[in-house]
Amino acid sequence: MRTAEIRSRFLDFFAERGHTVVPSAPLPTPDPTLLFVNAGMVPFKPYLTGESAPPWPRATSVQKCVRTLDIEEVGRTTRHGSFFQMSGNFSFGDYFKPEAVALAWELATSPVADGGLGLDPDRIWVTVHRTDAETRELWRRTAGLPDERIVARGDEDNFWSMGVPGPCGPCSELYYDRGPHLGRAGGPAVDEDRYMEFWNLVFMSHERGEGGGKSGYPILGELPRPNIDTGMGLERMATLLQGVDNLYETDELRPILDRAAALAGVRYGADREADVSLRVVADHVRTALMLLADGTTPGNEGRGYVLRRILRRAVRAMRQLGYAEPALPALLPVARDRMADGYPELARALTYDRIADQAHGEEEAFRATLRQGTTVLDTAVADLKAHGGRTLAGAQAFRLHDTYGFPIDLTLEMAAEQGVEVDRDGFAALMRDQRERAREDARARKSGTTHGSSGLRPVLEAHGPTEWLAWETLQTTSRVLALLGPGGPLPVAHEGDLVTVVLDRTPFYARSGGQESDAGHLTGPSMAAEVVDVQRPLPGLVTHQVRVTAGELAPDRVVQAAVDPEWRLGARQAHSGTHVLHAALREVLGPTALQSGSYNRPGYLRLDFPLRGGLSPARRSEIEETANRALRRDLPVTARWMTLPEAEQLGALALFDETYGERVRVVEIGGAWSRELCGGTHVEHAAQIGTLALTAETSVGAGLRRLEAAVGIEGFGYLARERDLVSRLAEQLQAPRAEIPDRVGALLDRLKTAERENKRLRQRATAARAAEIADGAVDAGGVLVAVATATDETGEARALATAVRDRLPARRPGVVAVGQVTNGTATLVTAVNAAAEEQGHSAAHLVAQLLQGRGGGTARLAQGGGVTATRLPSLLASVPGLVATA
């Protein structure tokens, strides 16, 4: 049974039993504790924790997930995949254990002809929590399972929580016996390869407190309404129903693996290490496809870094298989075709062209990185050998990994080819340090209390959602529901305090969708406070970070909440300007120029979009002109609500990193010309934006560009400054404005000519002086030694040392040392000719002796510094003695 059919059977089964089918959320998640959705329950988290009222009593979904904690295990085990699909059914206080057990058993064991999955009931085992006698009895009564196939386990295996205070409860897992050829008999407690887990039923019945580990926390009490959260791994079920040994051989992954094998000229199953590489390729190509489809772009931080690493691991695995040509152009289409049954958007030319462009650009960039890293590694190995070393330092291997993206396994392989080992322990220690810093960052992100969020859930439970009126008004009369500081609730805030305030109603826009939050004030009798930030730390709750500027602020105080009207006007202009620029981009560059990130605040906007290479001046001017023509046409700006399917049917563009409900707000500028899902504030007509002036266009990653613009009055100010600059240039050049480019070009040509002449004269002077210095070389133990001092001109010492060395007799060993003083600090350059190198002399060793290790280079040329200028004469005077005794 194909994976796509398993997916549809699962959803159909639960839809027929009263569950609302909820589409998969995008992989990037707004949850600040996660980079990507990593479990099927993540999109339902607000409903399961009670933060929001669920829109349906029961739901079902097949959720896209990415986990990369075990990325090194991908390909080496049968269970680890970085991308997977989790099928689940959820009850929000509607049904509990009896129904969940019965539904899972019915779907798993019903005949295929009746819509089930057709698993043999005699090969199914289950686990239950050791204290959960009720679930044990349900499996006996509902499924007829004998006691020996109901295994009791402890908290580590069969008790679930999110790792933080909140709902928790026992769980029951279903396993399938795949046969004696895969391991020992005895159930999942004995062998989890033979007995594969395929479904986990979580019974959220209690609330847990603070604590670590799987059981190091108190159980605070029962939930008022218990919930059901289940997860059936789609890839695992496909493995079972397709009769293959592991997930890499299922119908969505095996074709990618086979294509990779054909490209590399290897056969799957013939060599264990080659099989690992093929599995890595299959998994990572599919994962990259799905991440790119959901709007993630390769980068150096966060989500972008995860995607970059996955793409590079795929390319590297193909290299290990002996395939050095670009691989993604051949592999991505296979992944697209296999996944399009479940995700038809992948087959759309517009979507796939964007995916392919970014992936191919990243592969090209990594291939260049491999070339660059190879040069750096070869230089490091040559220098190591010149000093008699045979072990490359862990710090150098880490620099190759961290700075150049050079995989450690490639460093090990290439170093071994040259007879050099690598200090793996030193490298591992540096990697541990880096991972620990990353974990600390993640912990800080996970435990961070945005606007004092540790005390906000009780506020939401007690008072309900904030009445948010940012679309309707700039001012409200509001009551202070809560006042919080870093340590929790406060009874009062005094002048100068920075605190978090929750109001019952607010006119302030909370930072989201790329738009910065509003600025403004809270005022009341004998008090005033400046609003410096506004956020939504919990669904439905708006918080205000304020600085008290006069008097005192306390809970239950009635205040006037007022948005700064000038700020809001600028914010509306910038956000509408972002939509206009996005539409202009697509009009000029084509439909693949889709926004992949944006930010706007009064007077300023930036927009990221995929593009290989930069914009030409002509294209940039065309985009700017297209945007401003829309402003001149005064296109109407409207916002209307509709269902998400209606918006998709209408062709509205959605941001990939936003999560949308069943009803969405569609903002149109000129009707279909610009139509996007958006919750921001906007002008009523395009002319109210004023003007849009592009100020910068830069690269923010492989295949990703960023446009920046000044908007509104700031846009006019930018153009005025440009006008003044041109006026001053015209005055200084004594030329009409139209002739400025030609005049500046002529000046630059004259300057380049003068620089070339100066360089030629410097080279002649250096050559003449080098001949004089070489003639004055002294004999030191059979070696000609020449020393000199260069002027303070940057780079002269290196050029002079090389020139002197080349003028010494080629057949006699020769050593040169040239010092130079710049800003009171001495630099020393040493050079050795071939005859001296054959005798064992080394420029790098000599400079290290002179400067106590503060230098480096090769056996023929080295440089160091970091000593005071007063020491230079004595250092140069010591060179003949050091050479003679070497």
Give CA 235 to chain center in angstroms.
25
Burial class of residue 856 in the structure, from the number of CB atoms within 10 Å of its CB (0-12 exposed, 13-18 middle, 19+ buried) = middle
Instruction: Return the residue matching tokens 């349906």.
Output: 56
531 vs 543: CA distance, rounded Å: 10
Distance, CA of 311 to chain centre = 12
Element (H, E) at 563: strand 558-563
**β pairing state of 604-610 and 597-601:** antiparallel
| Residue 423 and residue 393 in contact, taking contact as beta carbons nearer than 8 Å | yes
Q: How far apart are CA 356 and CA 592, in angstroms?
A: 11
- 682 annotated among ligand-binding-site residues: yes
Residue 826's contacts (CB-CB under 8 Å, 6 or more residues apart) are 819, 820, 865, 867, 868, 869, 871, 872, 875
C-beta separation of 478 from 543 below 8 A: no
- Look at residues 458, 586, 452 and name the one whose alpha carbon lies nearest to residue 51: 458
Tokens linked to 728: 């001053």
**Three-state DSSP state, 553:** strand
Count of CA atoms in the C-beta half-sphere (13 A) of 158: 21
Is residue 284 annotated as involved in ligand binding?
no
Residues 6+ apart with CB under 8 A from 589: 609, 611, 619, 623
| 678 marked as binding residue | yes
Tell me which residue of 224, 278, 270, 219 sits closest to 248, measured CA to CA: 278
Tell me which residue has tokens 């090990």.
412
- CA distances 877 to 795, 874, 882, Å, are 22, 5, 10
Rounded to an integer, what distance in angstroms lies between the CA atom of residue 135 and that of residue 169? 12
Using DSSP's 3-state secondary structure scheme, residue 593 falls into coil
Cβ(841)–Cβ(813) under 8 Å? yes
Tokens at 691, concatenated:
């003007």
Buried-state track 482-501, b at ≥16 Cβ within 10 A, e below 16: bbbeeeeebeebeeebebbb
- 387 is an annotated ligand-binding site residue: no
Query: Could you tell me where the beta strands, DSSP code E, fall in 254-359?
Result: none
Return d(Cα 72, Cα 805) in angstroms, integer.
Answer: 50
The Cα diameter of the chain in Å comes to 104
Residue 82 · residue 569 · CB < 8 Å: no
Query: Which of these, 612, 589, 619, lies nearest to 694 by C-alpha position?
Result: 619
448 three-class SS? coil
Alpha carbons 772 and 808: distance in angstroms, whole number: 11
Q: Which two tokens stand for residue 255?
A: 């074709």
Report the candidate in 828, 830, 829, 816 with the shortest Cα–Cα distance to residue 866: 828
DSSP bridge pairs for 851: none
The number of residues making up the chain comes to 886
Say which residues have a Cβ less than 8 Å from residue 114's Cβ, sequence separation at least 6: none
**Within a 10 A sphere around the Cβ of 406, how many other Cβ atoms?**
25
Annotation: binding site: 575, 579, 678, 682
Q: Which residues are annotated as a binding site for Zn(2+)?
A: 575, 579, 678, 682
